[in-house]
Chains A and B, each alone.
Chain A
């Protein structure tokens, strides 16, 4: 069983929809939780970073971490075609060293 499980999708939504992306994990030592956006043939771009449990909001993006359930989420409000990309969850017990999910490919249709 993988340490980090992420639904690979693909996920297709109309413009303006609310998108929900999720990951579950099994390692209780994880305390750093990240969401990255990756465009084709590019390196990952950090979207959200959360330490331990809780919610974090940045513009149209909200990240939630529930350590008791070992479950993290990323919500995208008012989704735009430019949000079309692969979204990767990542987490780790130590700063910088991350275990990644498989990524969810999102397409936002105009």
Chain B
């Protein structure tokens, strides 16, 4: 399958700071990328959908001003958690979908810990 790389794999930050997570499709062009959040022992919850060159579409209950998503190229999307708080600590996972494809491929996830 296609390769999606997510960076960093883990990050610890202080409360009030911002953290950027990158999601790259390495061997295909991702017209759409999805960002999920997974709390311990819970399933993945879709946060937002981003199409290259367009504003992201956020799911209900997800603060768009707190979780900034940029999808400026066909191989890179970024999620910035602004003014992070301990309750934002979670596992963030992206997936990428190529044009005309029906399967989205997942990155390895980023574990964010806010202290």
Give chain A's interface residues, CB within 8 Å of chain B. Answer: 6, 32, 34, 36, 41-46, 49, 51, 88, 90, 95-103
Contact = CB atoms under 8 A, between A and B. Distances in A.
B32 interface: yes
Contacts of B95: 96, 98
A43 B97 contact: no
Given A41-B111, A43-B93, A43-B107, A51 B102 contact: yes
Contact of B34 (A34, A51, A96): A96
In this complex, the interface size class of chain B, counting residues with CB under 8 Å from chain A, is: 20 to 34
26 contacts: A32-B102, A34-B103, A41-B91, A41-B111, A43-B107, A43-B108, A43-B109, A44-B44, A45-B106, A46-B106, A49-B102, A51-B102, A88-B44, A90-B44, A95-B101, A95-B102, A95-B104, A96-B95, A96-B101, A96-B102, A97-B34, A97-B46, A97-B104, A98-B34, A99-B46, A100-B45
A88 B3 CA distance: 20
